[in-house]
Chain A
Amino acid sequence: MSIIQLNQVSRHFTKGRQKVEVLNDLDLEIEEGDFLALMGPSGSGKTTLLNLIGGLDQPTAGSVEVAGRQLVGLSSRKLAQWRSRNIGFIFQFYNLLPILSARRNVELPLLLTRLGGRQRRRNADVALAIVGLGDRAGHKPGELSGGQQQRVAIARAIVADPRILVCDEPTGDLDRETADEILDLLELLNREHGKTIIMVTHDPKAATHARRTLYLDKGSLVREAA
């Protein structure tokens, strides 16, 4: 069953008088439980595609249906509420709040739920334990290594139990060994916890952790590798 369905999706931007076409009439279907790597040169539209799937951006044309919801035309407020329930985001540079401890960073998405303080804290601790950082809960991002920060970011992404994880070059800032650890963790989340993962990457080795790989070039899907 497809969890993500994009039909005839285009996304144009305007730079001064120039119209920049980032995505052109793109069709894409992703099954629930899939682990998809999106590859392609810089400017090919990978991140734009990711933003559309994550409900951070709206297409110029076409339809985007994710987790059973048509996202085109939704208000900013509705999109935000939808994101909080359905999408976990993982960024290249972790994007943790430096003033908060690891536990509090992980707890952030739970502020949008009806859970009580104690339950939020418990869930955050469980998420940190899943990523192997149960003993670093009280540390602030500045006191953690890059790999550990990315693990905290992953814990934050899964703490509200979303169906889909959207990862924008999650290993782009990490050394090979740490990158492999993070990719193993993502594989685990896909395999054991059934998360659907869409990962943008420039790294062919990272893409081997995915079930399939899509190549984008100039706003169009050019080929698919299993």
Chain B
Amino acid sequence: MNSFSLIWSNLFRRRVRTFLTLFSIIAAFLLFGLLRSVADAFDSGVEVAGVDRLTVSPKYSIIDGLPVSHMSQILATPGVAGVTHSTWFGGTYQSTANFFPKFPVEPRAYFEMFDEYIIDPAQLDEFERIRTAAVAPADLAEEYGWQVGDRIPIEGDIWLREDGSRRWEFELVGTYRIRDDENMFAGFLFNYDYFDEARIPETEGIISNFSVRVSDPDEAAEVSALIDAQFENSINPTRTATEAEANRQFAAQVGDIGLIMNSILSAVFFTILLLTGNTMAQALRERVPELAVLKTLGFTDRRVALLVLLESVLLCGIGGALGIALATLVLGAIAPDLAAFLGQVEMSAMTTFGGLGIAVLLGIVVGLNPALSARRLQVVEALRR
């Protein structure tokens, strides 16, 4: 036997209570691992976007939209090598659980702009030729079992058809893959011309944003300023930024993801703090005579306090490590489902070690008061209990 086995034995003296507390800690750190990784995915989506492309968005809100007529002026801007546009469609495929981004685009111009999207040229021809055509990322098509030639119904929520109906139907004419999985917004793409003609007339000619290729990435800032200057006094002012910044702004429409995640985690950890604190305090109360015996045998006040503190750190450490490990496994399983919107979601070293650090800190905070009480324990008084 050594001090560790003494701590270990004490930890599991009331197995049910210890396991319940342990499960709570595991659940908290599972949540921590998942939420932090999702928040990281939002940030990493921002980072992977290239700087040779710019995104022109409505200045104040993505809800405003921009007139497609801006395109000719943008194309005429010095330093601009190409431009195309896309529109956030929203919509639901069969169930709201089946989320993936959907955009009406100009087929050929879009694939020329996003050259990391790789499509069979014959399928691109079909996409351009057939007005109701659509293409999807290969993994998305595989997930839903779509075959070329299938008709894909989408229930519109933002965009209604001219006849007032919500049902849009597209014919899948091809799939594309993404080089190095590098774009978080790869989605279900369909023909803009069909979309524009079919939607209610009041919304015709409105798109969400333009993608602009700059001739020289070093001049991206100047080009960006020139584009915005042209529309500054129009009724549809723009905000031009790198794709990274545009992605960040898009995420910010939902809210401050980091703040939301951290708020949830703070509430979870506060609850765990109280729960584990109560467990440790209860464990100490039950063990007062035993701690007094240890002191009687010659264990110093400091050593007894350390035994109590390490017990708490061990409990939280085990819970934290298991929770993080479980989160890694869960993330591995659900990452493919999240990839369509969030890009690559994985447990970073920062999250892993940060989580373990928080677990140890939690153990110290929770164990500190019982440890100090154990340290102050008067042997003679405690033995009388």
Contact = CB atoms under 8 A, between A and B. Distances in A.
A117 interface: yes
A67 to B, nearest CB: 13
A89 B289 CA distance: 14
Contacts of A80: 295, 298-301
A81 B380 contact: no
A81 B298 contact: yes
Interface string A105-141: 0011101100001001100000000000000000000
Given A97-B293, A107-B1, A111-B1, A76 B9 contact: no
B169 interface: no
B12 to A, nearest CB: 8
B2 A56 contact: no
Chief secondary structure at chain A's binding surface: helix
11 contacts: A56-B379, A83-B297, A89-B296, A91-B383, A95-B293, A97-B290, A99-B10, A108-B1, A109-B297, A111-B2, A112-B299
B375 to A, nearest CB: 10
Given A99-B10, A117-B1, A108 B379 contact: no
B298 to A, nearest CB: 2
B148 interface: no
Nearest to B298: A84
A76 B300 contact: yes
Nearest to B294: A108
A117 B2 contact: yes
A5 interface: no
A57 B380 contact: yes
Contacts of B297: 83-84, 89, 108-109, 112, 156
A98 B294 CA distance: 13
Contacts of B299: 80, 84, 111-112
A60 to B, nearest CB: 14
A51 interface: yes
Contacts of A195: none
Interface string B279-310: 00000000001100111111111100000000
Interface of A: 51, 54, 56-57, 76-77, 80-85, 89, 91, 95, 97-100, 103-104, 107-109, 111-112, 117, 120-121, 156
A99 B13 contact: yes
A104 B10 CA distance: 13
Given A108-B294, A111-B3, A117-B1, A81 B383 contact: no
A104 B297 CA distance: 14
B8 to A, nearest CB: 10
Contacts of A95: 289-290, 293, 296, 383
Contacts of A156: 297
A77 B294 contact: no
Given A51-B380, A76-B300, A95-B289, 8 more contacts: A80-B295, A82-B298, A83-B297, A84-B299, A91-B383, A108-B6, A112-B297, A112-B299
A99 B290 CA distance: 11
B311 to A, nearest CB: 12
A157 to B, nearest CB: 9
Contacts of B13: 98-99
B358 to A, nearest CB: 29
B300 A77 contact: yes
Nearest to A54: B296
A41 B336 CA distance: 79
Contacts of A81: 298, 300
Given A99-B10, A99-B13, A117-B1, A109 B298 contact: yes
Contacts of A89: 296-297
A43 to B, nearest CB: 13
B383 A112 contact: no
Nearest to A121: B1
A1 B3 CA distance: 38
Most chain-A Cβ atoms within 10 A of its Cβ — which of B295, B298, B299, B383? B298
A100 B301 CA distance: 21
Given A95-B289, A99-B10, A120 B298 contact: no
B237 to A, nearest CB: 72
Interface string B115-139: 0000000000000000000000000
A138 to B, nearest CB: 12
Most chain-A Cβ atoms within 10 A of its Cβ — which of B12, B13, B293? B293
B298 A77 contact: no
A-B pairs, top 5 by smallest CB distance, nearest first, are A84-B298, A80-B300, A99-B9, A99-B13, A83-B298
